[in-house]
Structure 1
């Protein structure tokens, strides 16, 4: 297995887990907050998908699925197109309301774009520096592992919230 294949496998698990989490849930269940400032399933899945879309598009030098495929319009959220949810206030979290099918569709489209990029990578590509604002500078491999880590943490949080719903 190549490093790129390993990354594809990791992102596939995020896709499978994320789509399973939202499957069959109503808009109210997706927006349920187990505590006043806790993040709901819908926001968590939207956010993990936005992070993956934003970060992978950036390192690939391509447009985000969010805008390129019209998801910004379909979600119709009151945020700038570049908003990925980082630092959202509780009130902003409440504004992310979407149907399960839309969340799953967006996650699937981002996965497809991510995998298309990953399948073109060679091992040496993972050593390319993509962000010099850090010390040490961030390589493509480190950035992609960071995205997988962030995504899996949010999938786990969303699974916990779904469990609290008794589902």
Structure 2
């Protein structure tokens, strides 16, 4: 296995987790929250996808799938099109309502762009600095590891919410 293979495998695991957590649930359940301050499955999946889309597109020098393929319009959220969910209030997170097909469709489109990018990477590419706003500057390898960790954490949170909802 090489660098590109490992990255493709990790992003594939995120895709599997996203599909497992949303498939078979009606939109109402996807938007349900365990309490008024909790995140819904829909918000968690939308957010993890927006983060992956934004970070990978920037690192790859590509346009975000959210904008390029019209997903912002399909979701019709009352936020700026650049919103990723970071730092949103409970009221704002409650506004993310979407069905399984919309959530997995957007994730799959982002996954396709992500995998297309990482398939061409080698070890040397991971050392390229992609964000100088931090000390030390963030390399591509660190950025991709961060996206993978964040996405898997949110997918796990969504799976927990699904389990709790199913036991109600």
Q: How many residues align?
A: 167
Q: Normalising by the residue count of structure 2, what TM-score does the alignment of the two structures yield?
A: 0.97
Provide the residue aligned with 2:30 in structure 1.
Answer: 30
Asked whether 1:155 is paired with 2:133, we answer no
Provide the residue aligned with 2:41 in structure 1.
Answer: 41
Q: Match of 1:130, SS?
A: strand
Provide the residue aligned with 1:91 in structure 2.
Answer: 91
Q: Give matches, 1:1-167, under 5 Å.
A: 1-166=1-166
**How far off is 1:134 after superposition?**
1.0
Which runs of 5 or more structure 2 residues have no equivalent in the other structure? none
Cα RMSD, aligned residues only: 0.8
For residues 77-132 of structure 1, the C-alpha deviation after alignment (integer angstroms, 9 at most, x for no partner) is 11111100000111110110011100000000000000000011121000001111
Where do 4+ consecutive residues of structure 1 move more than 3 Å? none
Which runs of 5 or more structure 1 residues have no equivalent in the other structure? none
Q: C-alpha separation between the residues in 2 aligned to 1:98 and 1:52?
A: 18
